[in-house]
Amino acid sequence: MCGIVGYIGSKKATPILIDGLMSLEYRGYDSAGIATIEKDAIKVMKDKGRVKNLYNLDGIDKLSGTVGIAHTRWATHGKPSKENAHPHMDNSGKFVVVHNGIIENYADLRDFLISKGYTFLSETDTEVIPNLIHYYYTNGPVSVLKDESEKFLGAVKSAVYDLKGSYAIEAISTICPDEVIVVRKDSPLVIGKADGENYIASDIPAILKYTKEFYLLDDNEFAIIKSNNIRFFDNSLVEHNKAVKNIEWDANAAGKDGYEDYMLKEIFEQPTSIRETIGSRFRLGEKCSFDDIEISKEYLENVNRIFFVACGTAMHAGLVGKNLMEKLCHIPTEVDIASEFRYRNPIIDEHTLCIYISQSGETADTIAALKLAKSKGAKTLAISNVIGSSITREADYSIYTHAGPEIAVASTKAYTSQVVLVAILAMHFAEILGSSDKLEIESLKKDIIDLPSKIEQILDNTEPIKDFAKKIYTEKDMFFLGRGTDYSVALEGSLKLKEISYIHSEAYAAGELKHGPIALIENGVTVIGIVTDKNLVEKSISNIQEVITRGAKTLVITNQILPNNNFDYVINIPETNPLISPILSVVPMQLLSYYISKFKGLDVDKPRNLAKSVTVE
Ligand code: M6R
C-alpha cells in the first residue's frame, strides 16, 4: 500500500521519480506527489488522481533538483485529495517526508504537536512525522551529535521512536540538501546502488532498470543516502556495514511486453512461470529436493498439525494445499485467514508447522500471524514470490515461487505458482515420510510437468470465454459452485470477478446451495459450475441442474464428459490429477473476469479501492 521512490545523483530527479511512481502505481493510485531540493528550498508538487497527472502540474518541468522523494498513495487517513497527498512538509518548510504504512498513535502525536504550536494542513497520519522531526531537530541533544547530517538523523530517529504502527519513510531537508534519510518498520524499502547515484523504492522492479545491486533495509534500520555513499545505522544509531544483494530479475519482465494490460500478460505467462516454479525441484524418477530448506524425517514425524495462513488469493492456494498435505502426508491441515488467525489464539506448539503464503511477502496480517506462531514455538515456512521480502526474513524456512514480478493487482500467475510449489512441497514431505505410494507420487509429478502445455491449450482458445463474457458483463450478481477442490477454486474465481469487474458474486460448495443461497437463484442469474473431479461429477451436476430448474444461465468448466447437455456454455479444459486441477480450472475464470472488466471499460490492472501489497491491517 502506497509506493515510495527516491533519487540522489547528478541527473534531474523529477523524470526518474515519476517514472518510478508509474511502475509502483499498483501499490496505490488515488494521489501522487514529488519533492525535490531546488537550490536552497524544497519544492513539493502533488495532486489527487493518477501519477500521470503530475506531468500537468504547472512548473513541474522547471524542477532541476537532483535529489528527490516521491509517493503514490492508497488512502488510509483522509480522503484522496491534494492536501492529503504526500509529500508532507513541516511548518518551517525545512523537512519533507513521504511515508508508507499507518501511524496508529497519530492523534496523540498531533495533539502533542498542536500543544507546542504546530498546525496541520492535512487529515493524514503522516503529517505528524515532518513536524516531529522539526520538533526534535530544534529540541534535540545537539551537543552529542557531530554535524548537521547526524543531527538530522538524530531528529528522524527521535521522531520514529514516538511512532506506533508501520512505516517506510524517506525524509529530505534543506539543512542537509545532499542526502536522503530512510527508515522502515513493517513496510518494505529497498535501496538501489549505482555509480555516483542511488535509488530508493518500495520494491525492486520499480528501479530494476537502473541497477541490479540492492540493499534490503531491515526493520528499525536507518540509512543516510548520498550520491556517492550509503551509511547504515541500527536503532541506537550505531553505524554498521551491510551486504549488497545482486538481483537477477530481468528488467523487461516488469514491462507489459506488448500486452494491453499486465493482468493479461500475467495470465499468458503462466506456462512459463509454472516451469520456473518447478525449476530443478524434481524430475521424473527422482525424489523432490529443495536447495533452500532442509527438513528432517524426525522433525516431520513429530509434526501433528499443519496450518496454511494467508490472505485473499494466497489463502485460496492454501485451501488446495490442505488437500495435498492431508492426502499425501496424512497430516491434519487447517487453513486460516491471517487477519483472523492472529487474533484467535490458535492452538500451536512445537509440533505445529505453519506455512505462510504471500506473493508480495509484505502483507501485514500474514507477517503478524507468522510472528505469533514463532512466539508459540512453531516452525514457520514462508512461500513468497519476492526474494528478501519481510515474510521470508522472519520465517524459519523460505521457498520461492519464482513466478517473476506480478504487477496487476489481481493475482493470477502467483496463485498457480503457489499451488504448484505447495504440491511439490507436499510430495517432498510425503517422500521424506514415506506416507504415499511411490507410483501415485510419480504420476502426480508427471501431471505437474504437463501443466504448462495444458495451460497453453486453454490459452489457445480464449474466444468462447470472451464470447460468454460479452453476454453477461452487464449483470449484477453471479454464483460460482464446486465440490471439493473445485469449491476452493470457485472461491478464487469469485474473488477475481469481484475485484476487477465490481460484479457481486458468491462462491458456494455446490451441496450447500440448498441450505439457503438457492433462494437467490431466479430467472437469468448466471451460475458458473466447476466440475473436474470424476468422483464428484454426478453430485455436482445435480446441483447445477437445481439452479437450471430455477431459471439460471449456466457456464460449466469441466474436464469430464458430462452426462447431460442443457448448459448454456461449456468450457472444456484438459484433465489432470484432481489434487492440482485448480491450476487449470482457474485459467478460464481469470480470463472471464478479465474480459468482463474490459467490456465494462474498467481499469483491469488497478481496480478501485485495492492495492497490490496490503501492508496495513
Ligand atoms: O501479497 P499477498 O499474496 O500476501 O497478498 C494477499 C492478498 O492481498 C492478495 O492475494 C489479493 O487477494 C489479490 N488482490 C487477489 O487477486
Largest distance between two CA atoms of the chain: 85
Domain of residue 18: give its range: 3-100+168-248
How much distance in Å is there from the Cα of 373 to the middle of ligand 1? Answer: 21
CB atoms closer than 10 angstroms to residue 248: 6
User: Could you identify the atom of ligand 1 that is nearest to the CA of residue 316?
Assistant: 10
How much distance in Å is there from the Cα of 311 to the middle of ligand 1? Answer: 6
Ligand 1 contact, 364 CB (< 6 A): no
Ligand 1 contact, 409 CB (< 6 A): yes
Q: Identify whether residues 271 and 243 lie together within a single domain.
A: no
Residues with catalytic roles: 2, 612
Q: Which amino acid is at 550?
A: R
Indicate the Cα dihedral angle 458, 460, 463, 465, nearest 10°: 20
Residue 414 lies in a domain: yes
Residues contacting 387, CB < 8 A, separation 6+: 247, 400
Residue nearest to atom 12 of ligand 1 (CA): 312
Helix (H, G, I), strand (E, B) or coil at 143: helix
Q: What is the pLDDT of residues 144-165, one digit of tens each?
A: 556 889 899 999 999 999 999 8
Residues contacting 537, CB < 8 A, separation 6+: 531, 560, 562, 563
Q: Identify whether residues 87 and 33 lie together within a single domain.
A: yes
Angle between helix 413-433 and helix 438-459 axes, rounded to 10 deg: 170
How much distance in Å is there from the Cα of 412 to the middle of ligand 1? Answer: 10
Among residues 458, 478, 497, the one where a domain terminates is: 458
Helix (H) / strand (E) containing 70: strand 67-73
Residue 124 lies in a domain: no
Q: Identify whether residues 224 and 276 lie together within a single domain.
A: no
Cα gap 597→359, rounded to integer Å = 23
Cα 520 from chain centroid (whole Å): 33
Q: Which amino acid is at 405?
A: P
Q: Identify whether residues 384 and 359 lie together within a single domain.
A: yes
Q: Identify whether residues 307 and 268 lie together within a single domain.
A: yes
User: Could you identify the atom of ligand 1 that is nearest to the CA of residue 391?
Assistant: 4
Residue nearest to atom 8 of ligand 1 (CA): 312
Residue nearest to atom 2 of ligand 1 (CA): 358
How much distance in Å is there from the Cα of 607 to the middle of ligand 1? Answer: 13
Among residues 217, 248, 279, the one where a domain terminates is: 248
Residue 115 lies in a domain: no
User: Could you identify the atom of ligand 1 that is nearest to the CA of residue 610?
Assistant: 14
Cα gap 357→336, rounded to integer Å = 11
* DSSP characters over 347-409: ---TTEEEEEEESSS--HHHHHHHHHHHHTT-EEEEEESSTT-HHHHHSSEEEE-------SS
How much distance in Å is there from the Cα of 598 to the middle of ligand 1? Answer: 21
> In testing the pocket of ligand 1, which one of 336, 339, 360 has its CB within 8 Å of the most ligand atoms?
360
Q: What are phi and psi of 224, to 5 degrees?
A: -105, 120
CB atoms closer than 10 angstroms to residue 463: 8
Residues contacting 73, CB < 8 A, separation 6+: 2, 28, 29, 30, 31, 32, 80, 84, 85, 86
Cα gap 281→70, rounded to integer Å = 40
Identify which of 296, 72, 300, 89 has the alpha carbon closest to the alpha carbon of residue 206: 72
Dihedral sign for Cα 193, 194, 200, 205, please. Answer: negative
Q: Identify whether residues 326 and 412 lie together within a single domain.
A: yes
User: Could you identify the atom of ligand 1 that is nearest to the CA of residue 366?
Assistant: 4
Residue nearest to atom 11 of ligand 1 (CA): 312
> In testing the pocket of ligand 1, which one of 614, 615, 617 has its CB within 8 Å of the most ligand atoms?
614
How much distance in Å is there from the Cα of 313 to the middle of ligand 1? Answer: 5
How much distance in Å is there from the Cα of 616 to the middle of ligand 1? Answer: 13
Among residues 427, 458, 489, the one where a domain terminates is: 458
Cα gap 401→317, rounded to integer Å = 12
Helix (H) / strand (E) containing 151: helix 148-161
Q: Could you give the number of structural domains in the chain?
A: 3
CB 99 within 8 A of CB 76: no
Q: What is the pLDDT of residues 258-296, one digit of tens each?
A: 789 999 999 999 999 999 899 889 999 999 998 878 899
Q: Identify whether residues 279 and 199 lie together within a single domain.
A: no
Cα gap 49→80, rounded to integer Å = 8
Q: Identify whether residues 230 and 287 lie together within a single domain.
A: no
Ligand 1 contact, 499 CB (< 6 A): yes
Residue 511 lies in a domain: yes
Ligand 1 contact, 451 CB (< 6 A): no
Residue nearest to atom 10 of ligand 1 (CA): 313
Residues contacting 4, CB < 8 A, separation 6+: 24, 69, 70, 71, 98, 99, 100, 168, 170, 189, 200, 201, 202
Average pLDDT along the chain, 617 residues, taken 10 residues at a time: 92 95 80 92 93 91 95 85 95 96 91 97 95 93 70 95 93 96 91 97 88 93 97 95 84 72 95 91 92 91 97 98 98 96 91 97 94 95 89 93 90 98 98 96 97 96 95 94 95 97 94 87 93 90 90 94 84 96 98 97 90 76
How much distance in Å is there from the Cα of 363 to the middle of ligand 1? Answer: 8
C-alpha distances (whole Å) from 515 to each of 263, 413, 510, 609 are 36, 34, 10, 33
Ligand 1 contact, 532 CB (< 6 A): no
Residue 81 lies in a domain: yes
Residue 554 lies in a domain: yes
pLDDT value, residue 520: 87
Ligand 1 contact, 554 CB (< 6 A): no
Q: Which domain CATH number covers 349?
A: 3.40.50.10490
Integer-rounded Cα radius of gyration of the chain: 26
How much distance in Å is there from the Cα of 369 to the middle of ligand 1? Answer: 15
Ligand 1 contact, 410 CB (< 6 A): yes
Q: Which amino acid is at 460?
A: D
Identify which of 582, 493, 566 has the alpha carbon closest to the alpha carbon of residue 532: 582
pLDDT value, residue 431: 97
Q: Which domain CATH number covers 203?
A: 3.60.20.10
pTM of the predicted model, to two decimals? 0.78
Residue 606 lies in a domain: no
pLDDT value, residue 141: 64
Q: Identify whether residues 176 and 230 lie together within a single domain.
A: yes
Q: What is the 3-state secondary structure (H, E, C) of 303-359?
A: CCEEEEEECHHHHHHHHHHHHHHHHHHCCCEEEEEHHHHCCCCCCCCCCEEEEEEEC
Beta strands in 220-274 (DSSP E): 221-225, 230-233, 239-240, 245-246
Q: Identify whether residues 440 and 517 lie together within a single domain.
A: no
pLDDT value, residue 137: 94
> In testing the pocket of ligand 1, which one of 202, 313, 406 has its CB within 8 Å of the most ligand atoms?
313
Angle between helix 485-501 and helix 582-599 axes, rounded to 10 deg: 20
Residue 133 lies in a domain: no
Q: What is the pLDDT of residues 16-58, one digit of tens each?
A: 999 999 988 777 778 999 999 998 799 999 999 889 999 999 9
pLDDT value, residue 251: 64
Q: Identify whether residues 378 and 322 lie together within a single domain.
A: yes
Q: Identify whether residues 84 and 187 lie together within a single domain.
A: yes
Ligand 1 contact, 369 CB (< 6 A): no
CB 120 within 8 A of CB 196: no
